[in-house]
Amino acid sequence: MRSRLLKTVSGVLTSLCVVSSTLMPISASYPSPAAAPSESPRMIVTWAEGVSSDIQESVLDKYGFRSEYCDGNFSIGSFETDPCPGLISSPYVLAVEEDTGLETMALTDDPYSATQWWLENTGTYTKADPSGSSYKITSTPDIDIDAEEGWYKYKSEIGGAHEVTVAVIDTGIDYRHEDLKDAMWINEGEIPDNGIDDDNNGFTDDVYGWDFFNDDASVCHYIENDDGSYSADPEDRDDHGTHIAGIIVARANNQTAISGIARYLHTRVMALKIHGGPDRKGSVSDAIKAIAYAQRNGASVCNISWGSYTASSALEAAISRSTMLFVCAAGNYGNDNDITPLYPASFDLPNVISTAYVDCDGLLPPDSCYGKESVDLAAPSTDIYSTIVGSCGYMSGSSMAAPMVSAVAAILFSLRSGSVPASVKDIIISNTKPLESLDGKCVSGGILNLDRCMKAADKIARDREAPSFSWTRSFEGESIVLRFEADDGENGSGVNSLRYMLGKRSASDFARGTEGTLIEDNTLVLHKGGKHTVYAYDNTGNASVMTIPVIDDKLPPRITNISFTVNNKKNKFTVMAKVSDTQSGLKSVKYLPGLHTVSDFLSDGTALTPDSDNIVSFKSSSPGIFTIMATDYRGNKAVETVRTYVRAAQSIELSETEIEMSVGDTLVLEATLSPVFSTDSVTFRSGSEKVVAVTNSGKVTARGLGSTTVTATSSSGVTAVCKVTVSSVG
């Protein structure tokens, strides 16, 4: 389990792009989106795995938490008072952190570009300035992703392709754009603009996705111009996300604007807006909600063109628990991310790709972040011409590099169902085009290459089998403990998580692993029995579900073999009994003098401790009735009584009255007292130890030749005699 922490997050998460003069210039830094001084800051509570909703609610109520959002993994809201340090030390809480600001970032303005050199770089490309004139720019041939060659290979595979969704978590996306409107993900379960949550997913009219910044379905904000055109509302700027969407999916051969890399109908983009306002600010809490939405609605790839130097354990948990491949911009700060990590690109997770960027000559710009161990590859990303709200424009930076990788990932995912995200990542990283400028600057040492990835696509691991799991029940203290063994097979993608819900549920209730309570370390601790449904999913999203009837321990303990003994002076009684419980185990054993019921033991009784053989005993100085009660860990109780008394023996009879033995022989004399319920004890004595020896239990051993007697005497003084003759040597 990661260490718990409470942070006041001051870093901002910024988009990683450079914009042209056609967009409003954006400064490189913005104020943090913190609440006004009079308001309590928004906080994110990350729950440890396996914490039930009842416990979460109880813990938060204790600290006066005002909840805005809760999905079982994260609770987002504010506290009436400072929760430190009590909440931080709670075993149920993984982390508590102040909501981090997320804001888009731009460094400088660039002029227009009229061609998409990153698709096919011949050595020059045409560039247009704001006045509309154009001119040639010299570049280095073959600094591109070999898109034409890759598309050709894709066409030969397209017959078996299936639809893939890329979630763009950013500013909004212009879903009206001629080059994007046919490439938008559409929620088929929602009727547009009827003000009703038709599919009951908690989001009303979420046709193209959701605007988490404004908390509504308005994933793009427009200004309608007098000439009939429209552009981005400067009060809620959505050009950045629209630009990213165009790089990924702008449709080809429609005589409009540009061609995206994943230009075929098999790829769609989901609009998940977390940045808004004139400064395009956002928050980690909204990013977490957006990730859950994308996971719930089946996205395969998630594009992250923003980053922060402030680590968020909540954001890391949300990504690690997802089955999507996250393509993240490495940053525009010119730093070595091995030394100064940028998140989420620097999260060391198998489903995260970190992307730097190069210019048209294959050089790493001074402002591109890099990292031999932490940045996976680079992609072309200067003078990138793509869609903006109502038009097209140009941006540069790692914000534009990430969607190029997202597009290639989407193409690979679309080839065959069941592609393993970590394997797609490996194919992309292992099939880059080497560049000398990237040697030692990233893991692959090269730039993205669609052609090479397509050549290696048949090596992508596939997993279409759901994981299996088994379980065992045990009782530990006052808890019922279920232990699971989950397996995804030899060639599977690996089990991601197990979750559970109370009652009988279906797989759809778990919403692709975004609902239900996580089972920590494959161990589920319950406080009562009943039906529980468990959902196991692997890293490709395959899932299995099983409703488990958890049978509680309803049987009381057993109190058996009750007996007592009396000493020779008849003034001390020892009561003994065997206590046992085969399920939840013994919690306590008590006794009381007299005849009692269970209720009498609630506030009284003397505790007894069983020995290794589960025998309990106690002493009394007078005869009478005694009650023993045993309780197991599930609260079941058993009560038994015993009466102690003194009854003298009237006679004693031995099992043998005359025996003949050989030296070395042994036998046991059994003494029977009359009356049967006599409390007398019996002792044995040999008339000659040289002939026979005898123990107090009546075991006789022949030692030497001769004759003698063995006398049994009760504590009341009655006797019986057995004559013993040892006549030979055995």
Task: Cite the active site residues.
Answer: 170, 240, 399
DSSP alpha helix (H) spans, 297-381:
313-320
What's the DSSP call for residue 520? G
Which residue matches tokens 């075993």? 91
Token digits of residue 153: 């290979």
Structure tokens of 293?
């939405």
User: Which string of DSSP letters, residue by residue, matches 215-254?
Assistant: TBS--S-EEE-TTS-EEE-TTS--HHHHHHHHHHHPPSSS
Is residue 317 helix, strand or coil? helix
Cα separation of 578 and 625, whole Å?
Answer: 18
Q: Provide the token pair at 437.
A: 């400028």
Phi, psi of 242 (to 5 degrees): -65, -40
Structural contact between residues 392 and 325, judged by C-beta atoms closer than 8 angstroms: no
**Distance between CA atoms of 592 and 606, rounded to whole angstroms?**
7
Tell me the three-class secondary structure of 434-478, residue by residue: ECHHHCCCCCCCEECCHHHHHHCHHHCCECCCCCEEEEEEEEECC
Give per-residue burial for 489-521: e unless 16+ CB within 10 Å, then b. eeebbbbbbbbbbeeebeeeebbbbbbbbbbee
- The residue count of the chain comes to 730
180 CB-near residues (< 8 Å, 6+ apart)? 173, 174, 242, 245, 246, 249, 250, 251, 269, 387
CA distance 686 to 715: 17
Give the helix/strand (H/E) hosting 20.
strand 17-20
Inter-axis angle of helices 421-430 and 398-415, nearest 10: 120
Q: Which two tokens stand for residue 528?
A: 């009562």
574 within 8 A of 581, measured Cβ to Cβ: no
Rounded Cα gap, residues 145 and 357, in angstroms: 12
